[in-house]
Amino acid sequence: MLDVLRTGDPTFRRDESQKESAINAAGFSVDFLRRLEPCKHSDAFPISGHDGDVYPVQAGSAQLLLSSPRFDQVVVGTDGRMALMRTIDPLAFVQVKLALSVSDSREFIKRARDRRQAEAVQALLDSGRLRSQLLAKAA
């Protein structure tokens, strides 16, 4: 997985204090999660099988992420090039981040970051600048 991240930014490395995270030279961090397993498999393992790769952690929210409707958005890079960003539905993101922000098992600094991220995306939803398929289905 680090090799994939490095195709976009060669400064990505595993955060040795949190092996489920990759971080770049600018301090941008990416966490890797995996769904909860029925039998408690507590051994961490590298995502690619290579020792230096990230070690995804089990998260109850991972199933919501996997089952969320897809969200596609065209984005424009600082160099003017366009790309299609494919991610999860914004409301699912808010729900996951809010759940993580109150989880006692989550580090305090990550809980605060999760809350800010949820609030930022919720504000975009509230203003109509983002749309959710989940909200459309509920209406």
Q: What is the pLDDT along the chain (139 residues), one digit of tens a residue?
A: 899 999 999 999 999 888 888 999 999 888 887 777 766 655 666 677 777 888 887 777 777 888 888 999 899 989 999 999 999 999 999 998 998 899 887 888 889 999 999 999 999 999 999 989 887 776 6
> Cβ distance 33 to 57 under 8 Å?
yes
136 domain-assigned? no
> Cβ distance 30 to 5 under 8 Å?
yes
138 domain-assigned? no
Give the model's pLDDT for residue 26.
Answer: 95
- Domains contained in the chain, number: 2
Pair (40, 90) in one structural domain = no
Pair (26, 68) in one structural domain = no
> Cβ distance 12 to 23 under 8 Å?
yes
Pair (54, 65) in one structural domain = no
> Cβ distance 110 to 100 under 8 Å?
yes
Placement of tokens 């003017």 in the chain = 80
Q: Which of residues 36, 59, 82 is at a domain's end?
A: 59
3-state secondary structure of 48: coil
What is the end-to-end Cα distance of the chain in Å, rounded? 38
Q: Which domain holds residue 111?
A: 61-129
Give the model's pLDDT for residue 48.
Answer: 75
Pair (71, 124) in one structural domain = yes
Give the model's pLDDT for residue 41.
Answer: 57
Give the model's pLDDT for residue 106.
Answer: 80
Give the model's pLDDT for residue 124.
Answer: 95
Pair (66, 112) in one structural domain = yes
Pair (87, 111) in one structural domain = yes
134 domain-assigned? no
124 domain-assigned? yes
Pair (90, 36) in one structural domain = no
Q: In terms of pTM, does the model score above 0.75?
A: no
48 domain-assigned? yes
3-state secondary structure of 33: strand
H-type helices in 1-139, by residue range?
A: 2-8, 62-67, 90-101, 108-127, 133-138
